């Protein structure tokens, strides 16, 4: 997105094929292994049992179970083939991998902020502050404790993904603690006052990192091992989307929506608004911290200016552009803006002007965002099919009645 993130710490796309990563190699092997297990062990009995349910069962429930078994037995090998082929193809395309990893990181940031700004209705401008806390914590673990745990960046081994996963989780937990510490005193504020408070938190984190020599200061935290790959970014992005989606459609999600629509009415109905807002901040801060850890272990350096106010605004733009409260919109906006930023790189500094004009035009023509509060899913596909069916029936010529 911004020039800071793209140029700092060697974040330019690699010019040669990416080095072999133990985790990616194991992921490709796992996909191939799952293909043969599914094809030789799971598919035959699943297909036979599913066929028996469809043919012999008289109840609709039994036929539905049989249909699901048939779909699983037939679709499973294809999914494994697609995963393995995609990983193999992307591993030979460094620039494509560079784009997709950045998309995954921005999806995590946008989705987690959507839980705070879109679903809960708060207005946070310090999301990159949580990413900074998580990123520096994860980097400190892998750089300082990694060698004692058998991590050697020059010789990838099975200990690397375990240490990296633990570091990301610790970074997320540290960011969650920061979210609680910020949320408890500030979430009694509303609107612009809350935005100013979270903005102040982000600037406090950035200035503090600038003045801590042990973490590199203004020169940045260097020597971070390059552990982040497309597999890691994809797994965490999927996890963030699933967690936020499940919260959105749960009892807690309905309480968060009540806080967004009318906080006074929610309190009158017995909703503990402060507690739910703190929960939203905590979960959103956790995934922001994980995204910061993924970013640091991809560009191999963390510079405080990467977590400044402008990058926090970019995450807010993604949430607003996709639609406040729409998880699907956040994913699409994060992917689209990341690709757009790279596609306009050829025009130099003019790309920032074109980028801003496109955003202004979209906000003028569709202020509710790309999707508003719509979520794309199975029900959306059914509604789309129904609309297409009505449109086709409306365009079909009426049959002429023959006189009897």
Q: Averaged over 178-200, what is the pLDDT?
A: 82
pLDDT digit string (tens) for 2-37? Answer: 444 444 334 444 433 344 455 555 555 555 555 555
pLDDT at residue 8, rounded to an integer? 39
Sign of CA dihedral 303, 309, 311, 316: positive
pLDDT digit string (tens) for 315-360? Answer: 888 888 888 888 888 899 899 888 888 877 777 667 667 767 877 8
Q: Averaged over 37-45, what is the pLDDT?
A: 62
- Please, which residues have CB within 8 angstroms of residue 108's CB and are 6 or more apart in sequence? 233, 236, 237, 240, 287, 288, 290, 291, 294
pLDDT at position 229 over 80: yes
Q: Averaged over 69-88, what is the pLDDT?
A: 68
pLDDT digit string (tens) for 84-109? Answer: 667 667 767 788 888 889 999 999 99
Q: Averaged over 263-288, what is the pLDDT?
A: 88
In this prediction the pTM is 0.77
Work out the percent of the chain whose per-residue pLDDT is above 70: 72
Q: Averaged over 267-277, what is the pLDDT?
A: 85
Q: What Å distances lie between residue 34 and 26, 43, 221, 229, CA to CA?
A: 12, 11, 39, 21
Q: Is 302 helix (H, G, I), strand (E, B) or coil?
A: strand
Residue 129 and residue 119: Cα distance in Å, rounded? 20
pLDDT at residue 29, rounded to an integer? 55
pLDDT at position 80 over 60: yes
Residue 329: both structure tokens together: 């919109």
Question: CA 263, 313, 13: angle at the middle one, nearest 5?
Answer: 140
pLDDT at residue 286, rounded to an integer? 95
Q: Averaged over 224-244, what is the pLDDT?
A: 88
pLDDT at position 50 over 80: no
Q: Averaged over 171-187, what is the pLDDT?
A: 87
Give the highest mean pLDDT range of 69-73, 149-153, 291-295, 374-378: 291-295
Q: Averaged over 234-250, what is the pLDDT?
A: 90
pLDDT at residue 111, rounded to an integer? 94
pLDDT at position 44 over 80: no
Mean pLDDT of the chain: 78
Q: Averaged over 111-136, what is the pLDDT?
A: 90
Residue 74 and residue 71: Cα distance in Å, rounded? 5
């Amino acid at each position: 997105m911004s020039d800071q993130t793209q140029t700092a710490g060697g974040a330019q796309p690699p010019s040669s094929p990416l080095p072999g990563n133990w985790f990616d190699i194991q992921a490709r092997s796992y996909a191939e292994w799952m293909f043969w297990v599914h094809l030789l062990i799971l598919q035959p009995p699943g297909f036979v049992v599913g066929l028996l349910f469809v043919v012999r069962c008289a109840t609709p429930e039994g036929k539905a179970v049989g249909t699901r078994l048939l779909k699983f037995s037939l679709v499973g090998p294809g999914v494994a083939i697609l995963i393995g082929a995609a990983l193999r193809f992307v591993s030979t395309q460094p620039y494509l991998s560079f784009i997709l990893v950045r998309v995954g990181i921005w999806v995590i940031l946008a989705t987690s902020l959507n839980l705070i700004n879109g679903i809960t209705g708060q207005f946070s401008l310090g999301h990159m502050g949580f990413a900074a806390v998580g990123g520096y914590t994860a980097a400190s673990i892998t750089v300082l404790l990694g060698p004692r745990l058998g991590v050697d960046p020059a010789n990838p081994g099975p200990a690397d993904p375990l240490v990296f996963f633990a570091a990301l989780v610790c970074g997320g937990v540290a960011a969650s603690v920061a979210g609680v510490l910020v949320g408890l005193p500030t979430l009694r504020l509303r609107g612009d006052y809350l935005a100013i408070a979270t903005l102040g938190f982000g600037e406090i984190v950035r200035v503090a990192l600038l003045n801590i020599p042990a973490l590199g200061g203004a020169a940045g935290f260097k020597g971070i091992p390059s552990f982040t790959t497309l597999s890691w970014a994809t797994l965490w992005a999927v996890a963030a989307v699933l967690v936020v989606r499940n919260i959105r459609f749960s009892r807690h999600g309905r309480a968060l929506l009540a806080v967004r629509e009318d906080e006074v009415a929610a309190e009158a109905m017995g909703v503990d608004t402060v507690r739910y807002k703190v929960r939203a901040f905590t979960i959103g801060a956790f995934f922001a911290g994980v995204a910061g850890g993924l970013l640091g272990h991809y560009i191999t350096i963390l510079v405080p200016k990467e977590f400044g106010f402008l990058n926090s605004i970019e995450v807010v733009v993604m949430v607003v552009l996709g639609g406040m409260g729409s998880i699907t919109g956040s994913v699409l906006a994060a992917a689209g803006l990341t690709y757009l930023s790279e596609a306009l790189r050829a025009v130099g500094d003019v790309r920032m002007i074109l980028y801003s004009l496109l955003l202004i035009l979209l906000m003028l023509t569709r202020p509710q965002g790309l999707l508003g509060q719509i979520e794309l899913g199975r029900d959306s596909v059914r509604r789309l099919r129904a609309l297409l069916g009505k449109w086709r029936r409306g365009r079909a010529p009426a049959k002429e009645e023959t006189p009897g």
